[in-house]
Amino acid sequence: MDNPAPHILECRQVERRYGALAAVDGIDLKVSAGETIGIGGPNGAGKTTFFDLISGLTAVSGGQVLYNGKSITGVPPHKLFHMGMARTFQVTDGFGSLTVLQNIMASVVNGSGKSRPGLRLTRAHRDKSMAVLEDYNLAHLAGDLVSDISALDRKKLMVATAVVHDPQILLLDEPVGGLVPAEIDEFIELMFSLRKRGISIVFIEHVMRFLMTVADRALIMHQGKLIYDGTPQGIASDPTVKSVYLGSEADAIAGGAA
C-alpha cells in the first residue's frame, strides 16, 4: 500500500519554557488537510505561545513541529508564510497609518514569495487587492485609514491579508474576541467560506458559540497541556474542562443556551 499523505501539521511533544514556567508543556497534535480545529482554555493556558511555536515566532525549548511531514524547526515566520502557513494575532493588527487598500497591497506584493519586487506596484496588484476587498465587503473602505475603521472591519482585513496567497493552513488567534453577536455571525460565515476554499484552520477562541459552530474538532489547553481533544459537543460534559475552564457556562452550552 502507498504511504498515506503526511499530516499538514504535526506537533510532537512541543514545549516552551520561560525559566521555571512551562508555558507549553509537551503538546502532541496532528492536523489533517481540511480540518477546522478550535482551541479553548483559560487565560495564560499557553494557547498563543503554542501558535508562536508553530508559526516560527518563538523557538521551541523541546519537541518538534512538522509541516507536511518536514521539520520546520528554525524556519522563520515569513518563510513559513511563503510555504503556505498564515496566521493572525490576538491583538488586532494592521498598518494603521496606511489605507485599507494599501494594507492588502502590502500583502499581495510582499507575500508572494517571488523575487523581490521592490516598490513597483502594478495594475495587477491593485486589481487583485480590490477583488479581495470586494470578497470581504471592505471595498467601500479602500481609501480609509486602517486606524479609522471599526474593530470588525479590522479583524476582517487581518484575515483577508493573511489569506491573499491561498495558504494551506491558517492560524487565527481569538478572531472574534470583543465582537458583538451579530458581528460574530458575520465572522462565522467568513469561516465557512474559508473552509470551502479548502484551507485547514486552527483557531483559538473563548466565545463558545463560535467554537461550537465552526470547529469540527475542539482542543482545550490548561497550564501548557492539552486536557481535551475531541468533539466540540463533548466539551460541556467533560468534567476536567468543566472544573478548570467552563464552570457554569458548561451547563448553558449543554442546554443549548450558549
Ligand X SMILES: Nc1ncnc2c1ncn2[C@@H]1O[C@H](COP(=O)(O)OP(=O)(O)O)[C@@H](O)[C@H]1O
Give whichever of 48 and 129 is closer to Mg ion, judged by the CB atom: 48
Q: Contact at 8 Å (CB) between 72 and 66?
A: yes
- Answer yes or no whether residue 88 interacts with ligand X by CB under 6 A: no
Q: Give me the least distance between CB of 46 and ligand X, in Å please.
A: 4
- Answer yes or no whether residue 46 interacts with ligand X by CB under 6 A: yes
User: Which residue has its beta carbon closest to Mg ion?
Assistant: 48
Q: Contact at 8 Å (CB) between 40 and 234?
A: no
CA distance 157 to 147: 12
Q: Give me the least distance between CB of 174 and Mg ion, in Å please.
A: 7
Interface pick for ligand X out of 45, 105, 141, 194 (rule CB under 6 A): 45
Which segment (29-37, 42-50, 164-172, 181-189) binds ligand X by CB under 6 A? Answer: 42-50
55 binds, among ligand X, Mg ion, none (CB under 5 to 8 A by kind): none
Residues 103-142: x where in contact with ligand X by CB under 6 A, - otherwise, as a string: ----------------------------------------
Q: Give me the least distance between CB of 20 and ligand X, in Å please.
A: 11
Interface pick for ligand X out of 1, 3, 43, 239 (rule CB under 6 A): 43
Which letter, b or e, does each residue of 123-139 get, where b requires 16 or more Cβ atoms within 10 Å of its Cβ? eebbebbbebbeebebe
Instruction: Please give the backbone phi and psi of residue 235, each rounded to the nearest 5 degrees, phi first.
Output: -55, -50
Which residues within the stretch 12-31 sit at the binding site for ligand X (CB under 6 A)?
Answer: 18, 21, 23
Q: Give me the least distance between CB of 200 and ligand X, in Å please.
A: 21
Which string of DSSP letters, residue by residue, matches 202-249?
EEE-S-HHHHHHH-SEEEEEETTEEEEEE-TGGGGG-HHHIIIIITTH
Other Cβ atoms less than 10 A from the Cβ of 13: the count is 12
- Answer yes or no whether residue 101 interacts with ligand X by CB under 6 A: no
Q: Give me the least distance between CB of 221 and ligand X, in Å please.
A: 6
Helix axes 151-163, 100-110, angle to 10 degrees: 20
CA distance 137 to 157: 10
- Which triple of cell numbers denotes residue 191? 469561516
Which segment (6-14, 41-49, 154-162, 177-185) binds ligand X by CB under 6 A? Answer: 41-49
Strands 85-87 and 169-173: parallel
Q: Contact at 8 Å (CB) between 229 and 217?
A: yes
- Which triple of cell numbers denotes residue 64? 518538534
- Answer yes or no whether residue 87 interacts with ligand X by CB under 6 A: no
CA distance 58 to 77: 9
Q: Give me the least distance between CB of 205 and Mg ion, in Å please.
A: 10
- Binding residues for ligand X, rule: CB under 6 A, are 18, 21, 23, 41, 43-49
